[in-house]
Amino acid sequence: MGEIENPEKLPYNPHNTDICTEALFDCVAEYDFIFSYLMFVVTSASRTDHVLKTTSLHIQDKKLYETFSQNLLFRRVQYYGPLLSRNVVTDLANNFLVYLSEILQTAAKTRPEILRSNERITTEDILQFENVSDIVSFIADRKISELSYGGLRETERFIRDRLGLELFDNQDQRELLTILVELRNIQTHNRGRINELFLKRIGDHSQSRFKFSKNETYQADFDAIVLLSNNALEIAINLDEKIANKFRLSRSEFKSLYTKLRESRDVRLKKMPMAESIN
């Protein structure tokens, strides 16, 4: 289990979000969904163990009480902890990267000139579309896709050079986001095992708070997940305000949009079939 120093206390509260673009709303809502899933898995196991232990005590069954006192379900969650951590870290990193792609595409479609380059678009590509707006969307999608393969450095450079904005407010933000993205990469491509490329990309300074060991599998604990994801959201929220102001993007009140989303999720939950009893 990976441990960090000076952990954050709580995950970001979505209700702290004021106004947002459509891209940021989707990002924060997805973040909340991922963390809700994590908390559901952990607390469900813990509560079930507690109920079983209390029930066995009430019926005065000593054997069952000794069995349920071992917290079997919660221990099983711990057993699958590496997989749960891997999925959550990967989903949180992907969520941020998707936000970056979406907000940059929105800015590019508002001001296509930020996509100017020596790259050429073929006649075959142009003939696929019916209007200039569709062509701009195509070029924007292709450019953002290229940036995603270039990593955070290429994206940071594009935002600085083409948008005239900074992706990060300080070096701490840069280092923590790099760690999150690189953890996602080794989880996806190397089953979470730390390699030389990972250590090179995160830099020596980042090791002061994290314990990464070459050739060992890293499992981010809850504190690490909160620290890395809160940082990613802070970057997204700050960038959203910068881009929205400069490119005059439409923003809406987060609370009203989020209320509608929660209501739709509740409706979907109620429509889900009940598990059939086993005879």
Q: What is the mean pLDDT of the chain?
A: 85
CB atoms within 10 A of CB 137: 16
Residue 47 lies in a domain: yes
Residue whose structure tokens are 């989880």: 187
pLDDT at 101: 87
- Whether the predicted pLDDT of 239 surpasses 60: yes
Closest CA to 138 of 148, 127, 149: 127
Q: Is residue 181 part of a domain?
A: yes
- Higher per-residue pLDDT: 91 or 128: 91
CB 262 within 8 A of CB 268: no
Question: Residue 118: pLDDT band by 50, 70, 90 thresholds?
Answer: low
**Residue 259, pLDDT score:** 92
DSSP assignment of 115-174 equals: G--S----HHHHTT-SSHHHHHHHHHHHHHHHHHHHHHHHHHHHHHHHH---S-SSHHHH
Strand partners, 2: 220
- Establish if 3 belongs to a structural domain: no
Does any domain span residue 279?
Answer: no
The total domain count for the chain is 1
Tens-digit pLDDT profile for residues 10-43: 899 999 999 999 999 999 999 999 999 998 888 8
Domain that holds residue 25: 14-268
Let me know if residue 8 belongs to a domain. no
* Any domain includes 7: no
Q: Is 94 among the domain residues?
A: yes
Domain assignment present for residue 81? The answer is yes
- Assigned token pair, 83: 């997989």
Residue 210 near residue 224 (C-beta atoms within 8 A):
yes
